[in-house]
Amino acid sequence: MPRAKADGVELEYDSFGDPADPPLLLIMGLATQMIGWPEGFCELLAGRGFHVTRFDNRDIGLSTQLDDAPAPDLVAIMGGDPSTAPYLLEDMARDAVAVLDTLGAQRAHIVGVSMGGMIAQEVAIKHPERVLSLCSIMSTTGDHAVGQPSQEALAAILLPPGTDRESAIERGVTVLKVICSPGYPPTEQWMRERTAAAYDRAHRPAGGARQFAAIVASPDRTGALRELAVPTVVIHGEDDRLVDVSGGKATAAAIPGAELVLLPGLGHDLPEALWPVFADAIERNAARAA
């Protein structure tokens, strides 16, 4: 696999489609490797005329793990003291730009899901010259008054990591049962296969805690989002228990001219039945950039 380099980290990535097509960068969410973007979905987007790239964020998958960093004090960070966060979302946005640099892409369509949506917003805010269009999926603005998880979802993602393969898979399945789409429920087999694949590729749960610290320690983006001038579509599930739909509504309300796509039955995942809906919205928004 190729790698991009930025700020002392290396980022694993792969691509789909014709390099001559317009670049589209996929940014994944909290504690989730780039394989969280299913190959079939990447191929669907490539078939719509994009050169699609997905990558492992720092501290996850096969990208650099910052295990030498001090452990973040999550209680202090959630209490308003961000000093122990090893990095912020804006640092992760620079990582995304480094992937574009490695690809030789001056500008790209940026698509992010969950934490990846937050990072995509940061790319548009801090590096607007690199963004052709923005798609923020099941994400939020950083305003703590919106987009908050249900108590059940928060408890699930804060469960301690598994101590071996079997317990790690069980934990992953427990989380998925809480956050996945009630209108498009996955099978038990799918959930086990997904969590097993992630464990076997790279199981490094400490990085997820540092990513969570980056989310909580990063400032509210609402004011900066109001200054954006980029074609934007915001997609959110009406039944999202991890990032409440109010987060998507607030994101769309903040960005001038943003399209808001609300999907009943969608939770906090990418069910295959809705891939064409996601692809349609991304393609339609990208056309606005032309």
pLDDT exceeds cutoff 80 at 66: yes
Residue 280: active-site member: no
> Which residue segments constitute the domains of the chain, with CATH numbers given?
3-148+205-289 (3.40.50.1820)
Neighbours of 3 (CB within 10 A): 17
Q: How many Å apart are CA 267 and CA 172, to the nearest integer?
A: 16
% residues pLDDT > 90 (the chain): 92
Question: Which residues, in sequence order, are CB contacts of 80 under 8 Å at separation 6+?
Answer: none
Q: How many Å apart are CA 130 and CA 133, to the nearest integer?
A: 9
Sorting pLDDT into bands at 50, 70 and 90, what band is 51? Answer: very high
pLDDT at 225 (0 to 100): 98
Among 56, 95, 143, 240, which one carries the catalytic annotation?
A: 240
232-237 vs 131-137, strand pairing mode? parallel
pLDDT exceeds cutoff 80 at 1: no
pLDDT exceeds cutoff 80 at 2: no
Residue 268: active-site member: yes
- Arithmetic mean of pLDDT, 34-55: 98
Bridge partners (DSSP) of residue 3 are 12
pLDDT at 78 (0 to 100): 87
Sorting pLDDT into bands at 50, 70 and 90, what band is 6? Answer: confident
Distances (CA, A) of 94 to 65, 189, 191, 239: 16, 37, 32, 31
Sorting pLDDT into bands at 50, 70 and 90, what band is 8? Answer: confident
Model confidence pLDDT, tens digit, residues 207-234 = 999 999 999 999 999 999 999 999 999 9
pLDDT at 290 (0 to 100): 82
pLDDT exceeds cutoff 90 at 179: yes
Residue 240: active-site member: yes
pLDDT at 223 (0 to 100): 98
- Arithmetic mean of pLDDT, 46-54: 98
- Arithmetic mean of pLDDT, 268-282: 98
- Arithmetic mean of pLDDT, 33-37: 98
- Arithmetic mean of pLDDT, 233-259: 98
Read out DSSP for 219-247? PP-HHHHTT--S-EEEEEETT-SSS-HHH
pLDDT exceeds cutoff 90 at 94: yes
Sorting pLDDT into bands at 50, 70 and 90, what band is 7? Answer: confident
Among 51, 109, 236, 268, which one carries the catalytic annotation?
A: 268
Model confidence pLDDT, tens digit, residues 128-166 = 999 999 999 999 999 999 999 999 999 999 899 999 999
Among 15, 51, 95, 114, which one carries the catalytic annotation?
A: 114
- Arithmetic mean of pLDDT, 113-130: 98
Q: What is the mean pLDDT of the chain?
A: 96
pLDDT at 74 (0 to 100): 87
Higher pLDDT, 6 or 289: 289
3-state secondary structure of 276: helix
Q: Which long-range contacts (CB under 8 A, 24 or more apart) does 65-68 make?
A: 65/204, 65/206, 65/207, 66/9, 66/207, 66/210, 67/204, 67/206, 67/207
